[in-house]
Chain A
Amino acid sequence: MNLEVFSSNSLLISFFLYLISFFGFVWSIVGKGSLTKAANHTERWNRIGFGFGLAAWLAHVTFFLTRWAAAGHIPTSNMFEFMTFLAMMIGFTMLAFYLYSRNAILGAFSTPLAAIIIAFASVFPRDVEPLIPALQSYWLKIHVTTAAFGESFFAIGFAAGLMYLLRTTDYSAKDARSARAKRWLEVVLSVVMSIIVFCVLVFSFKATGVTYIFQNADASKEAVYVLPPLVGPNPSELTLSEASPNSWNGVHVPLVQAPSFMKGKDAARKFNTVIWTTVITALVYGLLRLTVARRGLGAVLSRMTTGLDPEDLDELSYRTIAIGYPIFALGGLLFAMIWAKEAWGRFWDNDPKEVWAAIVFLFYTAYLHLRLSRGWLGAKSAWLTVIGFLIVMFTLVGVNLVISGLHSYAGV
Chain B
Amino acid sequence: MIDSVKCECGHANPTETVLCESCGKPLIELPEHELLEMRYDGIARRSQRTNPSVTDRIWRFFSSVKVAVNLIIFTLLLSSVGTIFPQESTLITIDGFKEISPEEYYSSTYGAAGELYYAFGFSHTYSSWWLTLLLILIGTSLVICSLDRILPLYRALSKQQAKKHPFFLRRQRLSLNRSSFEESWNVQFLLAAKKHGYKTHEVEDAIFLEKNRFSRWGPYINHIGLIVFLIALVFRSMVPDWTMDQYNAFTEGEIRQVPNTPFYLENKKFTLEYYPNESIPKLFQTDAVLYKCTSNCDNPNVDPTLKELMTKPIRVNEPLEYDGYSFYQYQFSIIPPQLNSIHVTLRSLNLKNQQTYGQFTLSLKNPKPEYTVGEYHLTLIDYKPDFSISADKKPTSKTQNANAPGFVFQVNGPNIPAEGKKFMYFPLPKDKAFYREADLNAKVGSPVELGVNGMQDLNFATAISYLNVRTDRVLPWIFAGIILFLVGVSIGLYWQHRRVWVRFDGSNMILGAHTNKNWLGFRRELYTILIKSGLTLDERDLVNSIEQEKEISNDES
Q: Is A132's beta carbon under 8 Å from chain B?
A: yes
What is the CA–CA distance of A345 and B520 in the complex, to the nearest angstrom?
A: 47
A residues 192-209 near B (Cβ < 8 Å) are none
- CB of A375, distance to nearest CB on chain B (Å): 9
Q: B residues within 8 A CB of A134?
A: 316-317
- Whether the Cβ atoms of B489 and A329 lie closer than 8 Å is yes
Q: Is B65's beta carbon under 8 Å from chain A?
A: yes
Q: Is A325's beta carbon under 8 Å from chain B?
A: yes
What is the interface of chain A mostly: helix, strand, loop, or mixed? Answer: helix
- Whether the Cβ atoms of A372 and B72 lie closer than 8 Å is no
- CB of A222, distance to nearest CB on chain B (Å): 18
- Whether the Cβ atoms of B280 and A137 lie closer than 8 Å is no
Q: A residues within 8 A CB of B39?
A: 373
Q: Is A315's beta carbon under 8 Å from chain B?
A: yes
- CB of A66, distance to nearest CB on chain B (Å): 21
- CB of A202, distance to nearest CB on chain B (Å): 26
- Whether the Cβ atoms of B72 and A345 lie closer than 8 Å is no
- Whether the Cβ atoms of B483 and A334 lie closer than 8 Å is yes
Q: Mark B466-480, 1 if CB is under 8 A from A, else 0.
A: 001010100100110
What is the CA–CA distance of A325 and B84 in the complex, to the nearest angstrom?
A: 26
What is the CA–CA distance of A372 and B80 in the complex, to the nearest angstrom?
A: 25
Q: How many residues of A contact B (CB 8 A)?
A: 49
Which of B317, B483, B489 is close to A133, meaning CB atoms less than 8 Å apart? B317
B residues 55-74 near A (Cβ < 8 Å) are 65-66, 68-69, 72-73
- CB of A327, distance to nearest CB on chain B (Å): 9
Q: Mark A328-370, 1 if CB is under 8 A from B, else 0.
A: 0110011001100111111100101001101100110110011
- Whether the Cβ atoms of A370 and B489 lie closer than 8 Å is no
- Whether the Cβ atoms of B493 and A325 lie closer than 8 Å is yes
What is the CA–CA distance of A45 and B137 in the complex, to the nearest angstrom?
A: 54
- Whether the Cβ atoms of A326 and B65 lie closer than 8 Å is no
Q: A residues within 8 A CB of B73?
A: 362, 366
- Whether the Cβ atoms of A356 and B111 lie closer than 8 Å is no
Q: B residues within 8 A CB of A253?
A: none
Q: Is B482's beta carbon under 8 Å from chain A?
A: yes
B residues 287-327 near A (Cβ < 8 Å) are 315-319, 326
What is the CA–CA distance of A323 and B486 in the complex, to the nearest angstrom?
A: 12
- Whether the Cβ atoms of B486 and A130 lie closer than 8 Å is no
Which of B72, B245, B315, B318 is close to A362, meaning CB atoms less than 8 Å apart? B72
Which of B68, B69, B80, B317 is close to A356, meaning CB atoms less than 8 Å apart? B80
- Whether the Cβ atoms of A362 and B493 lie closer than 8 Å is no
- Whether the Cβ atoms of A369 and B69 lie closer than 8 Å is yes
Known contacts A134-B317, A329-B489: does B520 contact A362 (CB below 8 Å)?
no
What is the CA–CA distance of A132 and B282 in the complex, to the nearest angstrom?
A: 6
Q: Is A322's beta carbon under 8 Å from chain B?
A: yes
- Whether the Cβ atoms of B75 and A322 lie closer than 8 Å is no
Q: A residues within 8 A CB of B490?
A: 326
A residues 133-186 near B (Cβ < 8 Å) are 133-134, 136-137, 139-140
Q: How many residues of B contact A (CB 8 A)?
A: 54
Q: A residues within 8 A CB of B483?
A: 334
Which of A139, A319, A333, A350 is close to B482, meaning CB atoms less than 8 Å apart? A333
- Whether the Cβ atoms of B520 and A369 lie closer than 8 Å is no
> Chain B: which residue is nearest A367 at the CB level?
B69
Q: Is A100's beta carbon under 8 Å from chain B?
A: no
Which of B282, B319, B326, B520 is close to A130, meaning CB atoms less than 8 Å apart? B282
Q: A residues within 8 A CB of B245?
A: 345-346
Q: Is B275's beta carbon under 8 Å from chain A?
A: yes
- Whether the Cβ atoms of B83 and A366 lie closer than 8 Å is no
What is the CA–CA distance of A250 and B326 in the complex, to the nearest angstrom?
A: 63
What is the CA–CA distance of A399 and B83 in the complex, to the nearest angstrom?
A: 9
- CB of A389, distance to nearest CB on chain B (Å): 15
What is the CA–CA distance of A369 and B72 in the complex, to the nearest angstrom?
A: 10
Known contacts A322-B493, A362-B75: does B65 contact A350 (CB below 8 Å)?
no
Q: Is B517's beta carbon under 8 Å from chain A?
A: yes
Q: B residues within 8 A CB of A315?
A: 518, 520
- CB of A321, distance to nearest CB on chain B (Å): 10
- Whether the Cβ atoms of A133 and B82 lie closer than 8 Å is no
- CB of A100, distance to nearest CB on chain B (Å): 12
- Whether the Cβ atoms of B328 and A366 lie closer than 8 Å is no
Q: Is B426's beta carbon under 8 Å from chain A?
A: no
What is the CA–CA distance of A136 and B280 in the complex, to the nearest angstrom?
A: 13
- Whether the Cβ atoms of B520 and A132 lie closer than 8 Å is no
> Chain A: which residue is nearest B468 at the CB level?
A345
Which of A261, A326, A345, A403 is close to B328, meaning CB atoms less than 8 Å apart? A345
Which of A312, A343, A358, A373 is close to B317, meaning CB atoms less than 8 Å apart? A343
A-B contact list, 12 entries, CB within 8 Å: A129-B280, A130-B280, A132-B281, A319-B518, A338-B479, A342-B318, A345-B245, A345-B470, A366-B72, A369-B68, A370-B69, A399-B83
What residues make up the interface of A, taking CB atoms closer than 8 Å to B?
Answer: 129-130, 132-134, 136-137, 139-140, 261, 263, 311-312, 315, 319, 322-323, 325-326, 329-330, 333-334, 337-338, 341-347, 350, 352, 355-356, 358-359, 362-363, 365-366, 369-370, 372-374, 399, 403
| 8 tightest Cβ-Cβ pairs between the two chains A and B | A133-B316, A137-B317, A352-B83, A373-B65, A345-B328, A350-B126, A362-B76, A130-B275
- Known: A132-B281, A345-B319; 7 extra A-B contacts, CB below 8 A, are A130-B280, A132-B280, A312-B520, A325-B489, A329-B482, A350-B126, A362-B73
